[in-house]
């Protein structure tokens, strides 16, 4: 399976970085199966970036958590990760809380909206995808294919 990572540079050797803010599935190396989504990630700051392409070969020895769609379990998992609670998985895959959904999740985490309000707001948003790699062992399932410079002049 081919997956993509949007970045400000070519990332031939992916790594897990500890960031200032906790992400949907905690700290990890994030990719997507949607090239268009990787382009948005790569160009979100100044319209220029790189889309890195990887061959992903699943490994049955890795502990993988998959969320086929946004569910109560998905929301609870993201809430825990955003609050800084690590998990036990090598790889986590599922919808991402991007753009507006990110704000809805954060408002829910902060107690500004109820769970019911979150679902009412989130149900009309377009599908997204992320697959995050959380251990060095998980990163061995990726093989770099190429990096392509992207210019999104707006």
DSSP string, 84-131: T---S-SEEEE----HHHHHHHHHHHTTSS-HHHHHHHHTTSPP--EE
24 and 96 Cβ atoms separated by less than 8 Å: yes
Q: Is the pLDDT of residue 17 over 70?
A: yes
Tokens 């997956």 belong to residue: 3
pLDDT of residue 120: 85
| Rg of the chain taking only CA atoms, in angstroms | 15
pLDDT of 99 reads 59
Can you give the pLDDT at residue 86?
93
66: Cα separation from own chain's centroid? 12
- Give residue-wise pLDDT tens across range 61-105: 999 999 998 899 999 999 899 889 999 999 999 998 755 677 888
Q: What is the mean pLDDT of the chain?
A: 90
**pLDDT-based confidence at residue 154 (cuts at 50, 70, 90):** low
Average pLDDT over residues 48-56: 97
């Amino acid at each position: 399976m081919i997956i993509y990572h949007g970045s400000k540079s070519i990332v031939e050797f992916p790594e897990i970085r500890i960031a200032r803010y906790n992400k949907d599935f905690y700290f990890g190396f994030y990719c997507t199966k949607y090239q268009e989504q990787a382009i948005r990630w790569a160009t979100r700051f100044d319209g220029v970036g790189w889309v890195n392409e990887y061959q992903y070969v699943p490994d049955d020895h890795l502990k993988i958590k998959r969320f086929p769609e946004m569910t109560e379990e998905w929301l609870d998992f993201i809430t825990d990760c955003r609050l800084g609670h690590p998990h036990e998985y090598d790889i986590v895959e599922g919808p991402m809380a991007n753009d507006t959904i990110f704000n809805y999740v954060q408002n829910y985490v902060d107690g500004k909206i109820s769970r019911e309000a979150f679902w009412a707001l989130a149900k009309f948003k377009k599908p997204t995808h992320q697959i995050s790699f959380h251990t060095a062992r998980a990163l061995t399932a990726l093989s770099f294919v190429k990096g392509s410079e992207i210019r999104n002049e707006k």
